[in-house]
Each structure stands twice: as C-alpha cells, then as structure tokens.
Amino acid sequence: MKLSTKSRYAARLMINLAWNYRQGPAQLNEIAKKEEISEKYLSQIVINLRGAGLIRSVRGAHGGYLLTREPSGITLKEIVEVMEGGLDIVDCLSDDESCGRSGICLTRNVWDKVSRAIKETLEGINLEELSKQIQEGDEPMYFI
C-alpha cells in the first residue's frame, strides 16, 4: 500500500493549521509557500477536507482556513480516510461483493489484520501531538 500525494500533503496542511490553531485563520498561499506545495493543488485538497468537516474557511482580508475542532481531536486516520476514500488495503474488506472469493479467501484475514493495524496506528496520532514537535519559533516542515 502506498499513500497518495494528496494524503501526505493534506497531513502537512492540517499540521500547519494545528500549529496556528490559536492564532486565527491561516492563508493557503502562505502554507503552500512554507511547505513548497502548489497552492492550486492544496486548494483541491481543501475541498475534500472541508467536505468532511475537518476544516472551515473564513472570508475576508484576514480570512483563511481553520480546523473545526481542537487539534487533539483530529487524527491522521480521519485525514487519510478522507483523502484515500477509506483505509482497507483490499476492496473485499469493505465490500464483500467486490470479490467472489471473499467467503473462502485464505488471505482475507491477513489483509484485514494489516488494515486494522494501519487504522489503529493512524488513530493513535493526532494533530496536537504532531504540531507540538515543532520547536518554539520554528516553521512547520513535515515530510510525511
């Protein structure tokens, strides 16, 4: 399994928003510059994150984006699930009808175990923990 660029960039965007959580809205162009990510690409990512209710936008001269919840309440699992459309590493785990062998497959339990481990790991990491790793005065620079 390989995470898409959208998931990795979404995580970096969300870490930036967590880092700025108490400072008001963060502008996308500033985050794009800091993270060396195309602003146009980030604007596509923002659509998914807003649709999932993880961020909201504020209009106006001092507008930008904000987390909808405390950073401690948003996990990497939520972010990656939104961007990847789920975390099961094979389709048959979430849709029995995707494979005619689902009921007799000898490897299905292995794929389920791997998927659960990924989910548990990502569930155990929240934005507050990640943003605290930034030293006082440092700019966020995460390469996920």
Q: What are phi and psi of 53, to 5 degrees?
A: 75, 20
Any idea of the CA torsion for 56, 135, 139, 26, to the nearest 10 degrees? 20
Kindly report, residue by residue over 71-119, the tens digit of the pLDDT.
Answer: 999 999 999 999 999 998 888 887 767 777 767 788 888 999 999 999 9
Residues 130, 75 contacting (CB under 8 angstroms): no
Q: What is the pLDDT of residues 35-79, one digit of tens each?
A: 999 999 999 999 999 999 999 999 988 889 999 999 999 999 999
Q: State the pTM of this model.
A: 0.86
Q: What's the number of CA atoms in the CB half-sphere (13 Å) around residue 103?
A: 2
Q: Which CATH class is domain 5-132?
A: mainly alpha
